[in-house]
Amino acid sequence: MTGEAPRAPVRRHHLVVRVTHWLTAVLLAGMIGSGLQIYMAFPHFGEKGKVYALLNPFDSNQFSGFPEWSRLGGWLAGGLNWHFALAWPFVLTGLVYLAYMAVSGEWRSLLFRPRDVRPAVQMQLYYLRLRRDHPPQGKHNALQKAAYTSIVLLGGLAVLTGFAIYKPVQLGWLVSAFGGFELTRYWHFLSVWLFVAFTVVHVLLVLLVDPASLRAIVTGRYRGRFPSHD
């Protein structure tokens, strides 16, 4: 029940998880900012002057560009330098996180499986205030599992498309797998906005639904009011 008194703090996040979480947040912010700076050098997909087949709301005469505060690098070369400088730490941090998940076995508590579909629906009903009681959960609820599984896959998409754009000749097979250079560039651009959407929803849910989880990702210990059924 949501009216239960806070429980005794329990250990939730290992140091590796906490460090990689915050490193990823900082590096991702820099990658997005420098990526927007690079995009502004040619804010269009496909041949110049022709309409691209896939949706891009930023490719219009009404769009004046992303605000300066949201971009990193100042100009194209600066944006490229920042983007490449942050790319390797971003990849390394992700690999460290995945390695820890694999070795520790914690991936089992995060992987979204078919059996999580119904609990995910119930959790969504709770977030929409269409269900009164917080559904039972383990360390992570079903929607969190879906989000975290998706974000790992999204990170893989961003990294692979990024390398394909960076080395389109050497990685021609990868470019072809994504549908060609322009489509690869589009998937990479789309991944940026999916990361932004995930971050906004993630932060809002933490602050509005379970603020104790913010303390947990800092200290490693969780003292919350929601029931846990492992």
Q: Residue 4 above 70 pLDDT? A: no
Predicted confidence (pLDDT) per residue in 49-91, tens digit: 666 777 788 877 777 889 999 999 999 999 999 999 999 999 9
DSSP 8-class letter at 227: -
User: Rounded distance, CA 94 to CA 151, Å?
Assistant: 11
Answer yes or no: are the C-beta atoms of 136 and 227 closer than 8 Å.
yes
> What's this model's pTM, rounded to 2 decimal places?
0.81
The CA-based angle 58-60-62, given to 5 degrees, is: 95
Stretch 170-194: mean pLDDT: 93
Predicted confidence (pLDDT) at residue 25 exceeds the cutoff of 90 = yes
Give the integer Cα–Cα distance in Å for 60 and 46.
Answer: 14
Local confidence band at 226 (pLDDT 50, 70, 90 cut-offs): low
* pLDDT confidence band for 8 (50 / 70 / 90): low
How far is C-alpha 87 from the chain's CA centre? Answer: 15
Q: What is the DSSP letter of 69?
A: G
Each domain of the chain, given as residue ranges in start order, spans 10-222
Angstrom CA distances, 206 to 54, 72, 197, 211, stand at 33, 27, 14, 5
Angle CA(139)–CA(225)–CA(223) in degrees, nearest 5?
Answer: 70
Map 74-121 to HEC letters.
CCHHHHHHHHHHHHHHHHHHHHHHHHHHHHHCCHHHHCCCHHHHHHHH
CATH classification number, 10-222, choose in 3.40.50.300, 1.20.58.100, 1.20.950.20, 3.90.1300.10: 1.20.950.20
Residues whose CB falls within 8 Å of the CB of residue 219, separated by 6 or more in sequence, listed in order: none
The H-or-E segment that residue 222 falls in is strand 221-222
pLDDT in tens, 110-145: 888 888 888 888 887 887 777 777 777 767 788 888
Q: Indicate the SS3 state at residue 205.
A: helix
